[in-house]
Chains A and B, each alone.
Chain A
């Protein structure tokens, strides 16, 4: 993998921030966009912009072909068996909420259980809290091991015949834990429960095969995988999607509209009310082409090396606490002793280094870690070992700076 050539595809990386070359270490929040994606969106607006699925005219056909072409690219990317199972949404949050509103509210009742984990992003917690309140179902948490992983033994103990839905993140956005989602799905199915995976931090970084994992739902966002913001995907097994009611009603999603009743379009369009995010979907298609050209296996291997290198180098810093397991995705969450993570992030920014600081939309996990906030450096295909060296230098300077003022 030629990272130097890859970096040239990302014009944003070629700039100075606060007088230093930008070191972007916040891809878990959102990834940068390569030229083929920027150009695909640009070309769509310059040449093909039109509404989809209704125009008789040529532009309408072109826009529809590109939009549906992107759906086919997503289908292949996650190996769904049909494009009927690929719903375009606004992002992971909307994807999960669609399942929580439609599937959960009509399939759950008092006494049923929803099983999630304490390492979930708020977007995979709150929809279930709300669904539990609405249906009388009980929300249950899988315990975490000390290193922030999940043991299958705990999974077997927590999921019962009362469990109707299991929702687990593929990769933790804080700990970097890669969860055994295939095994969890198998256990969920043994108890007759359905399994939803929050793939926001999974799909951008590794080959995902929804049929092999055998999950019932898989949710992810485009913007974390080189595509624009505002586009995401809900994969669902056809049998579930067929029986689910839409959550948004209006244009695009209807079959017949009468005065007092209406019928819905077939899958996947019944879940895509209103004019869809056409340019976003086309951008996502271009992002998938781009990632496939690099190769998801190559990206995973590159990130694996970066994660190991980052752990090794960061551990050399005196007074650093690193959270999460040894085997992890390409991100490191940490705190420096006596320096608040916001202050760390401000200091690093002065050196052109972009990291995230805060609770990372995972307040229950912060509580579990017994911290109020942390700093996080996250990596993607365009990051290098030099980026990590710069981060380590920046952290040493930060320590020195705040050490002096204290």
Chain B
């Protein structure tokens, strides 16, 4: 393996989300707020969601971390906006499966850019980076 293999991990679309994060900031008004961190590496994220009638009507994140954790958060907020909570949780389960290297039908789930994170499964040390935002989502839904 050499630097060219890094392309499996650092796909262009991932670096784009890292450099130009979508939905970074905070939600206006009342929102479900979840703080999550990865104690082994110091990455932290704050996820805010507005949930109305079982739908995620807005989602924003803020935090500090590596390209994988921040791009994953950016992609996730994009994907769950407008989704039913149950669908968002279903996506989270599928994402975990994808991180374990299992085949996941990403089209059916409307994964969009998230599919680019598939390569993370080949870098076991980085899986926790990618799942941080999704863990925050699950924690938030559970608390609600």
Contact = CB atoms under 8 A, between A and B. Distances in A.
A350 B2 contact: yes
Contacts of B10: 343, 401-402, 405
A359 B37 CA distance: 12
A343 B66 contact: yes
Given A357-B41, A372-B64, A342 B126 contact: yes
Contact of B2 (A340, A342, A351, A373): A351
B35 interface: no
Contacts of A343: 10, 66-68
A334 to B, nearest CB: 16
Contact of A359 (B2, B6, B41): B41
Contacts of B123: 346
Contacts of B15: 402, 405-406
A81 B43 CA distance: 46
Nearest to B19: A406
A343 B42 CA distance: 14
B44 interface: yes
11 contacts: A342-B43, A342-B65, A342-B129, A343-B66, A346-B9, A346-B123, A350-B6, A358-B41, A359-B41, A359-B42, A397-B3
A19 B6 CA distance: 13
B12 interface: yes
A358 B40 contact: yes
Q: Which 7 pairs between the two chains have the least Cβ-Cβ distance? A: A18-B1, A342-B66, A340-B66, A359-B42, A405-B15, A358-B41, A373-B42
A38 interface: no
Contacts of A373: 41-43, 66
Interface in A71-104: none
A347 B6 contact: yes
B127 to A, nearest CB: 12
Given A372-B64, A405-B15, A346 B2 contact: no
Contacts of A359: 41-42
Interface in A337-359: 340-343, 346-347, 350-351, 357-359
B43 A401 contact: no
Nearest to A359: B42
Interface size class of A (residues with CB under 8 A): 20 to 34
Contacts of B12: 405
A136 to B, nearest CB: 28
Interface in B1-59: 1-3, 5-6, 9-10, 12, 15, 19, 40-44
Nearest to A339: B67
A346 B44 contact: no
Contacts of B40: 358
B66 A350 contact: no
A313 interface: no
Interface string B65-76: 111100000000
Contact of B3 (A340, A347, A357): A347
A394 B1 CA distance: 14
A322 interface: no
Given A342-B129, A359-B41, A372 B6 contact: no
A366 B68 CA distance: 21
A20 interface: yes
A363 interface: yes
Interface string A213-242: 000000000000000000000000000000
A342 B41 contact: yes
B5 A350 contact: yes
A292 B15 CA distance: 49
A351 B3 contact: yes
Contacts of B19: 406
Given A19-B2, A350-B5, A406-B15, 11 more contacts: A18-B5, A340-B67, A343-B10, A346-B125, A347-B6, A350-B2, A373-B66, A397-B3, A402-B15, A405-B10, A406-B19
Nearest to A338: B19
A359 B39 CA distance: 9
Contacts of A340: 65-67
Nearest to A358: B41
Contacts of A18: 1-2, 5
B27 to A, nearest CB: 23
A357 B38 CA distance: 13
Interface string B109-132: 000000000000001011001000
